Amino acid sequence: MKKNIVIIGGGAGGLELVAGLVNQLKNANITLVDSSPIHLWKPLLHEAAAGTLNSYEDELSYYNFAVRKQFQFCLGSMQGINRSKKEIYLAPVFDDHKNILIPERTIPYDILVMAVGSVSNDFNIKGVRENCLFLDNTEQANFFHQHLLKTLMQLPYRTEKNITIAIVGGGATGVELAAELHYAIRQMAKHGMTFQPENISFVLLEAADRILPALSQRLSDLVTEQLNKIGIKIYTKEQVKEVTPDGFITHSGTFFPAEIKVWAAGIKAPEFLKHLDLEINKINQLIVKSTLQTTRDDAIFAMGDCAYCFDEKLGKAVPPRAQAAHQEAALLVKSIQNSLKNKPLPIYHYRDYGSLISLSYYETVGNLMGRITKSLMIEGKFARFAYRSLYRMHQKALYGTWWVSVLMFANLLTSKIRRRLKLH
């Protein structure tokens, strides 16, 4: 009998895992579950929010992909599990008027993989959820873009023509978003919108003593220098205490006024993971063994941002990064094959290939790490090419080398006539 393999979450890791499994397994029923019908590579969300990328052109339909790859896609959110019966329960799907479109469902599994990613961590700070914009998914990125456009359209007709865009979180998301918004707003002014870009100021708040605290000091210094050059004000050692409709109050007693407030400070795994009777840490991540199996159930695996995996070689936990999810997806293809054959499972060890930070069209910087060169700093065109190649690697895992080559050729042919800036 065919085994039932269920993957919860169609982010980069989950989708790459599905693509790998359907290529390798012919004797299994593979089901992907996600609360959204579309996929957009998460590192592109800041570009979609700024309008420098049209999300509708780069998004992938799970339904179409499922037909093409011959697996089953179920739209819905996981709301429960019965581990003794090996069943998961999906919540009903509602329309905009709260009518039930799809009822509750029960899905059996022999192997379950949790790949639900992460969401922004508000740390229970007062006013964050009510007053800030987030970039956890495509819907939020599109809402962000519409809110930005409406604010800029109104600006010439207001008495107060100066506004501040403040971003909390000096990690990769916050830094890249700040640069992308700075570039996009100046392009919008060139393409017919009548506001003055110099009336818009940018503030980046970070609780640590420098931006990009998880990366090297040298990389942090390069990015800081570039952001200062384009006029983005950086405030470090400023931990937010409260968010009001008018701005941020920090523990130092400083008030940072802002009309557009963005929260990009920290992550946590989704709340529903607390209720699955599996071991979790304080940010809801499922604690897994070195085989990526959860500590309380060998039939349940976890990967990506929602998993906490301590790597003995590193001496610390695997970081929640796209390259970790990519590596874990490749490993789990082998692990699930071995599990179905009752063979030992491979051990996961994270390998850091470096970090790349894109500051829109201003600059791209990073460091590459390999066996020969432990850390090679790069910037400019080569760094930009390396940054874009990460997305191509993701597409290659989904479509294969041939189709990625076709996509790249098509993009090259249409690059001169397609408008990169989205003004609607």
* Residue of 76 and 378 predicted with greater confidence: 76
For all residues of the chain together, what is the average pLDDT?
A: 93
Domain limits, CATH 3.50.50.60, in the chain: 3-35+76-118+269-340, 122-265
pLDDT at residue 415, rounded to an integer: 62
Q: Please, what sign has the CA dihedral across residues 272, 274, 276, 279?
A: positive
pLDDT band at 414 (very low <50, low <70, confident <90, very high): low
83 has pLDDT over 90 = yes
What integer is the mean pLDDT of 259-286? 96
pLDDT band at 349 (very low <50, low <70, confident <90, very high): very high
Single pTM value for the model: 0.93
Question: Tokens standing for 322?
Answer: 């796209």
CATH of 122-265, one of 3.65.10.10, 3.50.50.60, 3.40.1160.10, 3.40.50.2300: 3.50.50.60
pLDDT at residue 419, rounded to an integer: 60
Side by side, the strands of the sheet bearing 286-288 are 72-75, 28-34, 3-8, 111-114, 297-302, 293-294, 286-288, 307-311, 316-317
CB 48 within 8 A of CB 177: no
CB 36 within 8 A of CB 408: no
pLDDT at residue 373, rounded to an integer: 58
372 has pLDDT over 60 = no
163 has pLDDT over 90 = yes
pLDDT at residue 316, rounded to an integer: 92
What DSSP character marks residue 191? T
| Whole-number percent of the chain with pLDDT over 70 | 97
pLDDT tens digit string along 228-264? 999 999 999 999 999 999 999 999 999 999 999 999 9
Please return the burial class of 101, using the count of CB atoms within 10 Å of its CB with bins 0-12, 13-18 and 19+: exposed
CATH homologous superfamily of domain 3-35+76-118+269-340? FAD/NAD(P)-binding domain (3.50.50.60)
What integer is the mean pLDDT of 268-284? 96
What integer is the mean pLDDT of 177-205? 94
pLDDT band at 374 (very low <50, low <70, confident <90, very high): low
pLDDT band at 399 (very low <50, low <70, confident <90, very high): confident
pLDDT at residue 313, rounded to an integer: 87
Long-range contacts of 223-229 (CB under 8 A, 24+ apart): 223/175, 223/357, 223/359, 223/365, 226/179, 226/359, 226/362, 226/363, 226/365, 227/175, 227/178, 227/179, 227/359, 229/362
293 has pLDDT over 80 = yes
CA dist 39 and 52 (Å) reads 18
375 has pLDDT over 80 = no
Please give the C-alpha separations between residue 232 and each of 23, 137, 179, 228, in angstroms, as whole numbers: 46, 25, 8, 5
412 has pLDDT over 80 = no
Phi, psi of 234 (to 5 degrees): -110, 130
Helices (H), 132-171: 138-154
pLDDT at residue 44, rounded to an integer: 93
